[in-house]
């Protein structure tokens, strides 16, 4: 490692990242060129180098080292925004009625998604992304058996994901994660700003569907006969067996008996 780089790293307080700095040096040799001084005595945020450390503002370069939460990785050079907490993310999700209303052109969308999901052995389905209740910081919506509720400090295996692969609901039981290729192809079909996501499939028996209903902040699922379904909204689908291949509903959400919206019922409203 050159003396220039060592001096720079010392000033920046980043000697723990020597090996990563060497990688940067292999990508750009501009620190060794005559365009820069031979001594860099101060950590100048306007100097064209490539470090970001927590709240330190850094410069634009073809390759940037991003130091965030004590971890380093390369970024594309775009601005790095603070991570949104799980509670903030979850509480920003729409209620099921709004998510359902926003899901247009269902037949056309299902025709594209069915063969994609069938290629992954029916391990994953399509779900309406929506919140069941408000959660607090440090909580996550976690399923244990047939009940999901806000929990802290328990095993959390992702079981529902946004279109970009971000998990937002979890299970205490082991699940499988959608492969990166599936997330990429799924998002290419549904788009970025969508109320559709992926879920780890727990297929019901033939002639049955999973019915979601709520008690307080508990979201409870139970098996019901397809021919005895209450007033409901469809919230989850997997590839069916029809030819041509289409999606079949496997999860429904009971509409509130007294009117109003699903989220308000979860929160104790009317």
- pLDDT per residue over 164-183, tens digit each? 999 999 999 999 999 999 99
Total domains, the chain:
2
Answer yes or no: is 58 within a domain: yes
Residue 45: the pLDDT is: 40
247-254 vs 208-215, strand pairing mode: parallel
Among candidate residues 43, 75, 107, the one where a domain is terminated: 75
Residues 156 and 255 in one domain: yes
SS3 112: helix
- Residue span of the structural domain in which 49 resides: 3-75
| 80 occurs within a structural domain | no
Is the pLDDT score of 81 beyond 90?
A: no
8 A C-beta contact, residue 2 and residue 36 = no
pLDDT of residue 202: 82
Asked if residue 81 belongs to a domain, the reply is no
- 199 and 101 share a domain? yes
- 98: exposed, middle or buried (C-beta count within 10 Å: 0-12, 13-18, 19+)? middle
Task: With a cut of 90, say whether residue 15 has pLDDT above it.
Answer: no
Claim to verify: residue 128 and residue 25 sit in the same structural domain: no
Same domain, 61 and 94: no
Task: Verify that 38 and 154 share a domain, yes or no.
Answer: no
Clarify whether residues 66 and 94 are in a common domain. no
Q: Exposed (0-12), middle (13-18) or buried (19+): which is 127, by Cβ within 10 Å?
A: buried
pLDDT above 60 (res 227): yes
């Amino acid at each position: 490692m050159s003396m220039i780089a060592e001096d720079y790293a010392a000033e920046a307080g980043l000697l723990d990242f020597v090996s990563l700095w060497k990688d940067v040096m292999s990508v750009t040799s501009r620190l060794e060129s005559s365009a820069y001084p031979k001594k860099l005595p101060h950590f100048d945020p306007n100097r064209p180098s490539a470090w970001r450390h927590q709240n330190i503002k850094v410069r634009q370069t073809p390759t940037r080292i991003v130091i965030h939460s004590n971890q380093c990785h390369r970024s594309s050079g775009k601005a790095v925004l603070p991570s949104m907490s799980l509670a903030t993310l979850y509480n920003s999700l729409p209620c099921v009625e709004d998510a359902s209303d926003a899901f247009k052109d269902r037949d056309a969308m299902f025709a594209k998604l069915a063969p994609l999901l069938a290629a992954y052995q029916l391990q994953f389905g399509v779900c309406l992304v929506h919140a069941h209740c408000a959660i607090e910081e440090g909580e996550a919506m976690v399923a244990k058996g047939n009940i999901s509720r806000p929990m802290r400090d328990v095993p959390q295996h992702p079981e529902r994901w946004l279109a970009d692969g971000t998990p937002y609901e979890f299970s205490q039981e082991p699940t499988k994660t959608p492969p990166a290729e599936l997330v990429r192809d799924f998002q290419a079909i549904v788009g970025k700003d969508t109320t559709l996501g992926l879920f780890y499939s727990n297929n019901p028996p033939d002639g049955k569907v999973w019915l979601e209903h709520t008690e307080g902040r508990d979201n409870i699922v139970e098996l019901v006969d397809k021919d005895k379904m209450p007033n409901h909204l469809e919230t989850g689908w997997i590839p069916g067996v029809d030819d041509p291949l289409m999606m079949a509903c496997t999860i429904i959400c009971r509409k509130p008996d007294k009117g109003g919206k699903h989220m308000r019922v979860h929160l104790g409203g009317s």
